[in-house]
Amino acid sequence: MPSNIPSNLATRDIESLVHPYTNLATFRDAGPLIIERGQGIHVYDTAGRAYIDGMAGLWCTALGWGNAELADTAAAQMRKLAFGHLFAGKSHDGAIELAEKLKEIAPVPTSKVFFCNSGSEANDTQIKFIWYMNNALGRPRKKKIVSRRKGYHGVTIASASLTGLPVNQTDFDVPIANILHTSCPHHYRFAHAGESEEDFATRLAAELDALIQSEGPDTVAAFFVEPVMGAGGVLVPPATYFEKVLAVCAKYDVYVVCDEVICGFGRLGTPFGCQAFGFEPHSITVAKALTSAYVPMAALTVPEVMYQAMLDESRKIGSFGHGFTYSGHPVAAAVALKTLEIYERERLVEKVAKLAPQFQARLAALVTHPLVGEARGYGLVGAVELVADKASKRLFDPKAGVGARAVAYAEAEGLLLRFLAGDVITLCPPLVITSEEVDELFDRLTRALDQTLDWAQRERVLHV
């Protein structure tokens, strides 16, 4: 077990918690890394050792740790109104003001806002609202939802069905009925030999068109996308991709949901990710950076046509039968409002846009490393894909644990990262990172990759 924690604390953790996205079997021997506090872009373990959190927690802590304004705002709201709900016509000023603010800044025409507690809940709600709307509009067969292989939209039963990653579906008995998956827009892995990005995008659009036709256009209701696919490996769409696939959606009256849970609020150097790629969905889902993750909160936008359908159903049924105890929680709403205020006051989106070229240049330079098959990213998010053979793009045997090894070496260098399936190492630092800290992050990552290379050569798992 890590030497930084008292053995009794490690044992208590192992015997009391189920850890998400963890090999629960090997974890019993490895034990936890327990984080005690954070400040700026750094977090500190129980031995006081500092780490650059290169993943902003889980793609979420945009303002970093220890922001006194957010802490003071939460404390003040708890003293004023610790809880308030929105059921049966009740309300409070925080939820009203935040809904107004999100309507103001949303990149799509928005009639109303619905609040949830996580991106999973919000995307689950998107599905329910789409089905509800189509029932109200007299289209009871238009219910199938399309998402993409390697897309990530959550882990509730419905949102895990949208998610196109095997680890989120195997033995969980998902996807449920009416959820379909189309091709993943990763040019490096899935383009044909000699196929340009534009030709690849054309082929993917044709495949989506063929899927909708084969299912029946009157049965396909919606298409879920991320601007940059985060948990699937930080996959940046090929040139002209959104233009072409959304033209297919328009052709068949398919409702488009843009999952902005990772990309929203400046991550790509634009207020929302869809703006970076020049497309306008019907609705967006937001979470994570909405509160800089200081308290849980998520939201989705509701266009006028959907709101009118909700009114019709309320007249017919007598009530709108959906909601959560903590929808629009007053403490979360207050923190979200303060977070959005800080983003605007500090001109954080502009700062990200200015810093992004440096971040992406340091990222792109890693492609020369013997372990790296592709280095990819956008704004202040990126990934390196580790391969056993650069020429053939051959992956390592998953049992070799190369990605896990690289992340462990990074941790020893004082840098926290994540590895995903296919030995993809992801980076998503707090948006408040400085130019000097960007260089330090990549210096530590480079040292970790060098150590991984030495290990891989010793273990004979690499073909150079």
Residue 28 within a domain: no
**Is residue 137 included in any domain, yes or no?**
yes
Q: Is the domain of 59 the same as that of 119?
A: no
Contact 269, 379 (CB under 8 A): yes
Separation of alpha carbons 308 and 319, rounded Å: 14
| Distance set, CA 319 to CA 209, 300, 323, 330 (Å) | 37, 20, 11, 23
DSSP characters over 1-26: --TTS-HHHHHHHHHH-PPTTS-HHH
Percent of the chain's residues with pLDDT above 90: 94
132 and 235 share one domain: yes
Report yes or no on 27 lying in a domain.
Answer: no
pLDDT digits (tens, 9 = 90+) for 146-199: 999 999 999 999 999 999 999 999 999 999 999 999 999 999 999 999 999 999
Q: Per the structure, how many domains does the chain have?
A: 2
- Choose the final residue of a domain: 345, 373, 392: 345
Cα 112 to the chain's mean position, in Å?
23
Residues 388 and 449 in one domain: yes
Rg (CA), the chain: 22
Whether residue 340 is found in the same domain as residue 367: no
Q: Are residues 229 and 311 in the same domain?
A: yes
- In this structure, are 208 and 299 located in the same domain? yes
pLDDT digits (tens, 9 = 90+) for 400-415: 999 999 999 999 999 9
Which distant-in-sequence residues (6+ apart) come within 8 Å of 326 by Cβ? 117, 296, 332
Q: Give the end of a domain, one of 303, 322, 345.
A: 345
Q: What is the CATH number of the domain that holds 150?
A: 3.40.640.10
Distance CA 92, CA 347 (A): 29
Q: Where residue 7 falls among pLDDT bands split at 50, 70, 90? A: low
Structure confidence at residue 19 (pLDDT): 92
Distances (CA, A) of 285 to 120, 303, 397: 10, 12, 36
Instruction: Classify 399 as helix, strand or coil.
Output: helix
- Residue 217's domain comprises 69-345
Q: What's residue 460's pLDDT? A: 86
pLDDT tens string 211-258? 999 999 999 999 999 999 999 999 999 999 999 999 999 999 999 999
Q: Identify whether residues 300 and 362 lie together within a single domain.
A: no
| Domain-ending residue, one of 297, 319, 345 | 345
| Token duo for residue 429 | 């630092």
Q: Tell me if 374 is assigned to some domain.
A: yes
pLDDT reading at 331 higher than 50: yes
- By percentage, how much of the chain surpasses pLDDT 70? 98
Closest CA to 223 of 142, 119, 155: 142
Structure tokens at 350: 């502009």
Lowest-confidence segment of 1-5, 63-67, 95-99 by average pLDDT: 1-5
pLDDT at 463: 61
Q: Is the peptide bond before 303 cis (omega within 30 degrees of 0)?
A: no
The residue type found at 47 is: A
Residue 225 lies in a domain: yes
- 180 assigned to some structural domain: yes
In a domain, 16, yes or no: no
Average pLDDT, the chain: 96
The answer to whether 70 and 339 are in contact (CB under 8 A) is: yes
Inform me whether the pLDDT recorded for 322 exceeds 90: yes
CA distances from 48 to 3, 260, 414, 429 (A): 12, 34, 12, 21
This prediction's pTM: 0.95
Q: Do 340 and 454 sit in the same domain of this protein?
A: no
Examine the domain organization and report whether 277 and 332 are in the same domain: yes
* pLDDT given for residue 1 in this prediction: 47
β 415-416/298-302 pair status: unpaired
Q: Residue 405 belongs to a domain with what CATH number?
A: 3.90.1150.10
The model's pLDDT over 15-31, given as tens digits with 9 standing for 90+, comes to 999 998 888 898 998 89
Side by side, the strands of the sheet bearing 35-39 are 35-39, 42-45, 50-53, 415-416
Give me the pLDDT at residue 308, please.
98
Number of neighbours of residue 397 by Cβ within 10 angstroms: 11
DSSP string, 334-349: HHHHHHHHHHHHTTHH
Whether residues 384 and 326 share a domain: the answer is: no
4 vs 445: CA distance, rounded Å: 22
Whether the CB-CB separation of 269 and 349 falls below 8 Å is answered with yes
CB neighbours of residue 118 within 10 Å: 19
Residue 464 lies in a domain: no
Q: Give the model confidence (pLDDT) of 67-121 as tens digits.
A: 999 999 999 999 999 999 999 999 999 999 999 999 999 999 999 999 999 999 9
66-to-113, 179, 399, 440 alpha-carbon distances in Å: 29, 41, 39, 21
42 and 177 in one domain?
A: no
Q: Where are the beta strands (DSSP E) in 83-126?
A: 112-116
Q: Which helix (H) or strand (E) holds 326?
A: none
Q: Do 37 and 110 fall into the same domain?
A: no
Which three-class secondary structure state does DSSP give residue 284? strand
